[in-house]
């Protein structure tokens, strides 16, 4: 039985909501709240003029131009595409069965009546948007939520976090299908007594994306993409949106000068073996994105190369616009690879409670560094701290990193240094002009192109910016 659809009231920060024209799909669409981050171009790691001739190679200069292009004309920092869902986090005696038929019956029993609201949480791309907003970035979520209690919940969470919402549906999208086709996507996050996780949603049991009836980009969606510095897409977006629609958003972002971040996630491997349309869309995202973000396992699955740096370099070679490939190494740290350099940063030691949402939070901090032209190793340091702060909480959504917790982690500056791992990783014959490594201490007598950067120096440059963001709502020079 479909859920009842209450009348949704508008709680946005502007006088009037922008409503979708289709009454069956209607929900409020509002711009982000008027929060902003003000950077001085005289600040550390932020350039207000192009590199001088002769100060770097062509790739580095091109990187500056691409990162700076059109920024003054865009008043939103990050737009996320699709993957808006409500996570229902429940403890269960045992995880759902693997057999698809039994698994769906298990989910249907859970869905028979809405669980208590205390078990609801914003999920999917909401994690990235919330983490980014807490760093002071202006964010907007592009996607579809239904006109029911779960949709209202998501809208309320986004509004409370200062995140705008742009709906994707139009009156031309109406189909004579069951009302469930239009309802907010739910993801059941099931935890057994051994703290093992199982996930299931209705998208798991359909060959078509959950919102396959969405066919084109509306004027509002195009405007949101055009006004954003970054469009973030991830592999789970394919569970909701058709490959052609995702490709349309990518093409439009490229056309209007919006940088594209893509994190294929676990779906990357299945998309490689998916339908011809999925394979083409994945290939296009890998070639046309400005920044790719993957775990080491995901990088290997897409390239067939086990070494994470060599896999990242392979993705760079195949990319047409790609300038950063970032490999997330879990508790080891992270690596940022460009055509001319490699930057490495060990993770921070924290008491890990739950790793759900850590990768999404990490992406938000990389966007923060990318937008503000921070040194690459500093971007990694902030991203590692944000991911660690999320791991210290339980679940994602509103439990992702707070700015206060990120600052605390940076101040403690307790790196999980594993010299043996990093020495073996960097012992390969890597084709990079410079390798930068974040260390607790600077080591004299560096060999070849390896350059150690002191964590204390990076933290001393980051803290004034983050602390002023917390107290003043802006970042000072």
Q: How many CA atoms lie within 13 A of 285 on its CB side?
A: 32
Helix, strand, or coil here: 256? coil
Extract the tokens encoding 74: 């865009």
Q: Which region holds residue 219: left if phi is over 0, alpha if psi is between -120 and 50, else beta?
A: alpha
* Least confident range of 26-40, 74-88, 276-290, 409-423: 26-40
- Residue among 219, 280, 282 nearest 252 (CA): 219
Burial class (CB in 10 A: 0-12, 13-18, 19+), 81: buried
Q: Which residue has the higher pLDDT, 122 or 38?
A: 122
**H/E segment holding residue 118:** none
Instruction: Check residue 25 and give its pLDDT.
Output: 38
Over residues 447-464, mean pLDDT: 86
Residues 344 and 437 sit within 8 Å (Cβ to Cβ):
yes
Helix axis angle, 403-412 to 376-391, nearest 10°? 110
Residues 260 and 253 sit within 8 Å (Cβ to Cβ):
yes
Question: In degrees to the nearest 10, what's the CA dihedral of 49, 53, 59, 64?
Answer: 0
Q: Quick one: DSSP state of residue 466?
A: H
Q: Which residue has the higher pLDDT, 107 or 232?
A: 232
Report d(CA 354, CA 188) in Å as an integer. 16
Residues 6+ apart with CB under 8 A from 222: 252
Beta bridge partners of 454: 439
Question: What band does 248 get if pLDDT is binned at 50, 70 and 90?
Answer: very high
Instruction: Check residue 468 and give its pLDDT.
Output: 72
Question: What band does 23 get if pLDDT is binned at 50, 70 and 90?
Answer: very low
- Residue among 459, 442, 440, 460 nearest 451 (CA): 442
Residue 410, pLDDT above cutoff 80: yes
Query: How does pLDDT run across 94-137, given as a tens digit for each residue?
Result: 888 888 888 888 888 877 777 888 989 999 999 999 999 999 99
Question: What band does 172 get if pLDDT is binned at 50, 70 and 90?
Answer: low
Question: What band does 203 get if pLDDT is binned at 50, 70 and 90?
Answer: confident
CB count in 10 Å sphere of residue 54: 6
By percentage, how much of the chain surpasses pLDDT 90?
A: 55
Strands (E) in 82-152, as ranges, are 84-91, 120-124, 139-143
Q: Which residue has the higher pLDDT, 394 or 152?
A: 152
Full DSSP string of 381-437? HHHHHHHHHHHTSSSSGGGS--HHHHHHHHHH--B---HHHHHHHHTS----SEEEE
Q: Quick one: DSSP state of residue 114?
A: P
Instruction: Check residue 465 and give its pLDDT.
Output: 83
- Predicted TM-score (pTM) of the model is 0.82
Extract the tokens encoding 21: 């024209």
Q: How many CA atoms lie within 13 A of 120 on its CB side?
A: 19
List the strands of the sheet with 139-143, edge to edge: 164-167, 139-143, 76-81, 228-234, 259-263, 291-295, 324-328, 333-337, 341-346, 434-439, 450-454
Over residues 423-444, mean pLDDT: 80
Beta bridge partners of 293: 326
């Amino acid at each position: 039985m479909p859920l009842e659809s209450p009348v949704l009231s508008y709680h946005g920060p502007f006088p009037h909501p922008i409503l979708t024209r289709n009454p069956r799909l209607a929900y409020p669409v509002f711009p982000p709240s008027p929060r902003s981050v003000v950077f001085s171009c005289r600040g550390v790691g932020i350039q207000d003029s192009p590199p001088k001739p002769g100060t770097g190679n062509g790739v580095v200069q091109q990187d500056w131009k691409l990162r700076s292009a059109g920024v003054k004309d865009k008043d939103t920092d990050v737009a996320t595409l699709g993957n808006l869902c409500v996570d229902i986090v429940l403890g269960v005696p045992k995880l759902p069965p693997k057999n698809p038929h039994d698994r769906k019956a298990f989910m249907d029993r859970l869905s028979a009546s809405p669980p208590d609201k205390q078990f609801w949480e914003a999920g999917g791309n909401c994690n990235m948007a919330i983490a980014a907003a807490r760093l002071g970035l202006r964010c907007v979520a592009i996607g579809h939520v239904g006109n029911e209690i779960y949709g209202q919940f998501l809208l309320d969470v986004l509004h409370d976090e200062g995140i705008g919402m742009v709906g994707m549906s139009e009156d031309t999208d109406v189909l004579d299908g069951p009302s469930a086709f239009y309802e907010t996507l739910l993801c059941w996050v099931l935890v057994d007594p051994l703290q093992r996780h199982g996930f299931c949603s209705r998208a798991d049991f359909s060959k078509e994306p959950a919102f396959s009836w969405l066919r084109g980009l509306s004027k509002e969606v195009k405007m949101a993409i055009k006004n954003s510095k970054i469009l973030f897409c991830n592999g789970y977006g394919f569970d909701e949106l058709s490959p052609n629609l995702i490709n349309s958003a990518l093409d439009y972002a490229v056309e209007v000068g919006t940088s594209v971040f893509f994190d294929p996630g676990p779906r990357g491997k299945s998309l490689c073996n998916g339908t011809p349309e999925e394979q083409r869309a994945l290939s296009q995202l890998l070639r046309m994105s400005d920044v790719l973000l993957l775990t080491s396992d995901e990088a290997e699955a897409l390239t067939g190369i086990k070494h994470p740096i060599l896999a990242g370099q392979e993705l760079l070679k195949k990319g047409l616009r790609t300038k950063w490939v970032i490999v997330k190494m879990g508790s080891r740290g992270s690596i940022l690879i460009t055509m001319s350099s490699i930057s490495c940063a060990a993770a921070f030691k924290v008491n890990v409670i739950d790793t759900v949402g850590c990768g999404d939070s990490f992406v938000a901090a990389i966007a923060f560094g990318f937008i503000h032209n921070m040194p690459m190793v500093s971007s990694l340091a902030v991203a590692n701290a944000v991911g660690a702060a999320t791991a210290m909480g339980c679940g994602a959504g509103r439990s992702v990193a707070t700015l206060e917790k990120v600052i605390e982690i940076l101040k403690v500056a307790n790196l999980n240094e594993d010299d043996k791992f990093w020495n073996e990783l960097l012992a390969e014959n890597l084709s990079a002009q410079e390798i930068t490594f974040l260390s607790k201490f600077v080591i004299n007598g560096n060999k070849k192109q390896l350059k150690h950067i002191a964590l204390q120096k990076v933290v001393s440059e980051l803290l004034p910016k983050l602390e002023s963001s917390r107290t003043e709502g802006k970042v000072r020079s």
